[in-house]
């Protein structure tokens, strides 16, 4: 069974998808981490974010791999051509670069092919922007997570502080607004709500409440 979780930046997708995968004993696929890994590799190699052909080539050669510890469905490390980028993909520089990389059609087709290969035949929770619409249009459960702009900014600020980066609420609000703009208006696979997705607003709700709500949807499909 595929559980697709889409939604905008800082809507709570990662926290919810990870907790859900652990609870269900499903695998977990973080597709945002894959686009981040390509962006990080581009910055590392000094590839221009305007050079679509070079970025496409880089995406094809990236050999992105997730490493797991024991039977935890949540990966411990992500590597690009064997290089550990787990921490490096979460910097403000990668945040700023990733939308430009993710809007290139050839980068997306390389990532989508890899995502379909990874998920084939498994029970898996997949989070991203286009999972229920493009990558797995036949997913048995589709959720679109949202939260108010204010709450999303507050969450991102907390993440940033936790990772040791200084930022103001204003910085974060404008960063999220810019990413939403690029992600929802790009030509290839823009962020939209799949027709058959259930929208779950996480504003003011705990992670447990949201996870339980999605778990109920899963159990309706697989009692
Ligand atoms: O979920 P995230 O913040 O880690 O995603 C990083 C970026 O990757 C985000 O700006 C949009 C893009 N993305 C995408 O275009 N398609 C996906 N399936 C996942 C992420």
Closest residue by CA, ligand 1 atom 3? 9
Beta carbons of 10 and 201 less than 8 angstroms apart? no
Ligand 1 atom nearest 13 alpha carbon = 1
Element (H, E) at 179: helix 169-185
User: pLDDT truncated to tens, each residue of the chain (223 aa)?
Assistant: 999 999 998 899 999 999 999 999 999 999 999 999 999 999 999 999 999 999 999 999 999 999 999 999 999 999 999 999 999 999 989 999 999 999 999 999 999 999 999 999 999 999 999 999 999 999 999 999 999 988 999 998 998 888 888 889 888 988 888 888 888 999 989 999 999 999 999 999 999 999 999 999 999 998 8
Measure the CA angle with vertex 19, ends 93 and 24; round to 5°: 135
Predicted pLDDT at 183: 87
Distance CA 65, CA 48 (A): 24
d(CA 178, CA 176): 5
Residue 99 Cβ inside 6 Å of ligand 1? The answer reads yes
Per-domain boundaries in the chain: 2-221
Question: CB 100: neighbour CB atoms within 10 A?
Answer: 18
Contact (Cβ atoms closer than 8 angstroms) between residue 129 and residue 191: yes
User: Mutual orientation of helices 31-45 and 105-119 as an angle, nearest 10°?
Assistant: 130
What is residue 129's predicted lDDT score, i.e. its pLDDT? 95
Of 71, 69, 70, 86, which is closest to residue 34 (Cα–Cα)? 86
DSSP 8-state secondary structure symbol assigned to residue 141: E
- Nearest alpha carbon, ligand 1 atom 20: 32
Q: Is the CB of 9 under 6 A from ligand 1?
A: yes
Task: Compute, in angstroms, the gap from residue 129 CA to the centroid of ligand 1.
Answer: 6
* Residue entry with tokens 């823009």: 190
**108: its two tokens:** 């997306």
Is residue 8 in contact with ligand 1, taking CB distance under 6 Å? no
Neighbours of 213 (CB within 10 A): 15
Q: In the numeric block, which tokens belong to residue 135?
A: 């990558």
**Pairing state of beta strands 64-67 and 77-80?**
antiparallel
Among 203, 97, 101, CA closest to 153:
203
Other C-beta atoms lying within 10 Å of the C-beta of residue 191: 20
The neighbour count for residue 165, using CB atoms within 10 Å, is 14
What pLDDT is stored for residue 74 in this prediction?
A: 95
Q: What is the pLDDT of residue 160?
A: 84
pLDDT at position 211 is: 98
What distance in angstroms lies between residue 223's CA and the mean position of ligand 1's atoms? 31
Q: How far is the C-alpha of 197 from the C-alpha of 146, rounded, in Å? A: 12
CATH superfamily of 2-221: P-loop containing nucleotide triphosphate hydrolases (3.40.50.300)
């Amino acid at each position: 069974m595929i559980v697709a979780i889409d939604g905008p930046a800082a809507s709570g997708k990662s926290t919810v998808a990870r907790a859900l995968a652990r609870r269900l004993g499903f695998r977990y696929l973080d597709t945002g981490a894959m686009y981040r890994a390509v962006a990080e590799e581009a910055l590392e190699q000094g590839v221009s974010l305007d050079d679509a052909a070079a970025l496409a080539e880089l995406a094809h050669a990236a050999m992105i791999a997730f490493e797991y510890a024991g039977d935890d469905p949540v990966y411990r490390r992500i590597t690009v051509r064997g290089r550990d980028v787990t921490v490096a993909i979460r910097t403000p520089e990668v945040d700023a670069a990733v939308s430009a990389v993710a809007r290139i059609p050839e980068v997306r087709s390389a990532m989508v092919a890899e995502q379909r290969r990874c998920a084939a035949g498994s029970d898996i929770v997949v989070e991203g922007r286009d999972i229920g619409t493009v990558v797995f249009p036949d997913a048995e459960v589709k959720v679109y997570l949202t939260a108010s702009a204010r709450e999303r900014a507050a969450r991102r600020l907390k993440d940033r502080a936790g990772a040791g980066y200084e930022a103001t609420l204003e910085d974060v609000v404008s960063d999220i607004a810019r990413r939403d703009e690029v992600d929802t208006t790009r030509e290839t696979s823009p962020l939209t709500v799949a027709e058959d997705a259930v929208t779950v607003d996480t504003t003011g709700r705990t992670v447990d409440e949201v996870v339980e709500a999605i778990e109920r949807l899963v159990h309706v499909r697989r009692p």
